[in-house]
Amino acid sequence: MTLHGEYAPSSQQWVRDQVAAYEASDGKEANTLRDTGYPIVVITSVGHGSGKLRKNPVMRVERDGKYVAIASKGGAPDDPTWADNFRHHPEVDLQDGPVKKSYTVRELEDGPERDEWWQYSVQTWGTYADYQEKTDRLIPVFLLEPQD
């Protein structure tokens, strides 16, 4: 893992609790999205405004060692804060269970590559399609590629 610095926990208690339990147990606990049973990973990014480390549980969408982070925010009209973190600091650390690695982040532009990863993400967690229907914005898709 390559990111270092001061950790600034989320302002949302459930996020703080889930991240703490996930990390303390090497992903054996708190490893699913609340009330769904769907697996998550924890992504650490550098805060765009603060420069502090931020940690977020994100749906686990993986293929061939690459991960996708869907900035859906439940279909809200704006992106989650971590999307700007990814755009301004395109290096993250990701923990998938006990495995921790560094990744380079790239936002996928509207086109065939984005469409392919979006469809794969919807197959993994169908609620993403519902979220897209709830908002006028094109939900951002971020591809995380391993650095090693």
pLDDT along the chain (148 residues), means of 10: 91 95 96 89 96 97 98 95 97 97 97 98 94 96 95
**What's the CATH fold of domain 13-146?**
Pnp Oxidase; Chain A (2.30.110)
pLDDT at 51: 96
CB atoms within 10 A of CB 29: 13
Tokens for 53, please give them.
């480390």
State in Å, rounded, how far the first CA of the chain is from the last one: 11
Q: Domains of the chain: which residue ranges?
A: 13-146
Q: What is the pTM of this model?
A: 0.95
Q: What angle do CA 20, 26, 64 make, to 5 degrees?
A: 115
